């Protein structure tokens, strides 16, 4: 009997489809635990620096896990900051960002959680920009007290994008027509089955303009004291990207350097005693927070040819996103 069960389990990756396992979500949910990134030579550690990663497309969608419920980036950030609040030895936070951005709401939620943590604890936050920290990635960085770019960082792309699809040609090709009965003239706005009207475009543009305005205000607030006015930021916020040096010259970052040197600099500035650099990773048992989706019977995807996960959570809608950066992730 055991051998048959083992054969069935080992054969799962060869199948295509999904398996629903009732009750497994809470059982297999992994909690966060502290891991040491760079140890201290002290026997009793007095000071710590938390390394918090913002990597990939920023979304509220859960990362798919085999035989595990999975969590979202927003949820993980909140949980990591909760653990940091409980540890008085955390003296500084470095937010390491390698992201082309993502959804407007997920970017804003992470920014909010970082600002709330800084205001409640007084712990300084530094954003360390890695390969790409564009659009929503830079939005998150603006929550930091200081922004440091790697010498080869690509950043900027301040703005909003909304993706639309027109499949009318496909309808004609396959001989299918799609209609809609709605309660109002704009209920099926952004329908891919008909052309967008001028009035609909104006409505969508007004939403984009509002979200764009929030982005600009967030950057202005984050760069307060650097001599960047709202007019200055709007001049930079036309969607263009910047090299690290260009971003420094424009006032979007405070310095250009490397992560190890940043750790040494924080150690000197804050008077830390050989700090231990730590991070939080998913480990043993699960814990939920307000950004967790309600537990449900998990779906175990055993299709090795499933759609690219980089677009998970990025359906039709408004995004703080640099598209080439997202496509770069899809080729990894």
The SS3 assignment for 288 reads: coil
Considering the chain, what is the average pLDDT of its residues? 82
Q: What is the pLDDT of residue 262?
A: 97
Q: What is the mean pLDDT of residues 157-179?
A: 85
Give 100's strand partners: none
Amino acid 30: pLDDT: 67
Which has the minimum average pLDDT: 88-97, 163-172, 199-208, 270-279? 163-172
CA neighbor of 275 nearest in space, from 260, 256, 285 = 260
Report the catalytic residues.
135, 187
- The fold for domain 18-162+237-295+314-330 equals 2-enoyl-CoA Hydratase; Chain A, domain 1 (3.90.226)
Can you give the pLDDT at residue 276? Answer: 93
Q: Can you tell me the mean pLDDT for 261-286?
A: 87
Q: In the chain, pLDDT over 90 holds for what percent of residues?
A: 58
**Residue 251: pLDDT band by 50, 70, 90 thresholds?**
very high
Q: Give the mean pLDDT of 258-263.
A: 96
69-97 tens-digit pLDDT:
678 899 999 999 999 999 999 999 999 99
Measure the CA–CA gap between 276 and 48, rounded to whole angstroms: 5
195, with CB counted inside 10 A (0-12, 13-18, 19+), is exposed
What mean pLDDT do residues 254-276 have?
96
Confidence at residue 308, expressed as pLDDT on a 0 to 100 scale: 47
User: pLDDT per residue over 277-287, tens digit each?
Assistant: 999 988 644 45
Return the sign of the alpha-carbon dihedral for residues 263, 54, 106, 331: positive
Strands (E), 151-203: 154-156, 161-162
């Amino acid at each position: 009997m055991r051998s048959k069960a083992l054969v069935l389990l080992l054969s799962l990756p060869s199948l295509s489809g999904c398996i629903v396992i009732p009750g497994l979500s809470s059982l297999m949910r992994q909690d966060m635990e502290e891991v040491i990134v760079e140890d201290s030579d002290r026997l009793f550690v007095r000071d710590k620096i938390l390394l918090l990663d913002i990597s990939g497309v920023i979304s509220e969608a859960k990362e798919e896990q085999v035989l595990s419920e999975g969590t979202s980036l927003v949820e993980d950030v909140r949980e990591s900051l909760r653990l940091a609040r409980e540890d008085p030895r955390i003296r500084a936070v470095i937010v390491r960002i390698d992201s082309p951005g993502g959804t407007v709401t997920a970017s804003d939620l992470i920014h909010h959680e970082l600002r709330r943590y800084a205001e409640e604890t007084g712990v300084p936050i530094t954003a360390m920009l890695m390969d790409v920290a564009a659009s929503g990635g830079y939005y998150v960085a603006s929550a930091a007290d200081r922004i440091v770019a790697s010498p080869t960082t690509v950043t900027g792309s301040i703005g909003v994008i909304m993706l639309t699809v027109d499949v009318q040609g496909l309808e004609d090709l396959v001989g299918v027509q799609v209609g809609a009965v709605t309660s109002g003239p704009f209920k099926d706005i952004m329908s891919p089955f008909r052309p967008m009207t001028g009035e609909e475009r104006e409505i969508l543009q007004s939403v984009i303009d509002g979200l764009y305005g929030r982005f600009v205000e967030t950057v202005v607030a984050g760069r307060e004291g650097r001599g960047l006015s709202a007019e200055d930021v709007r001049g930079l916020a036309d969607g263009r990207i910047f090299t690290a040096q260009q971003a420094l010259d424009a006032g979007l970052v405070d310095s250009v350097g490397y992560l190890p040197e940043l750790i040494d600099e924080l150690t000197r500035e804050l008077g830390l005693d050989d700090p231990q650099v730590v991070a939080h990773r998913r480990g043993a048992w699960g814990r939920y927070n307000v950004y967790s989706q309600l537990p449900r019977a998990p779906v175990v995807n055993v299709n090795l040819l499933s759609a690219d996960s980089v677009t998970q959570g990025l359906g039709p809608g408004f995004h703080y996103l640099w598209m080439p950066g997202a496509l770069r992730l899809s080729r990894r």
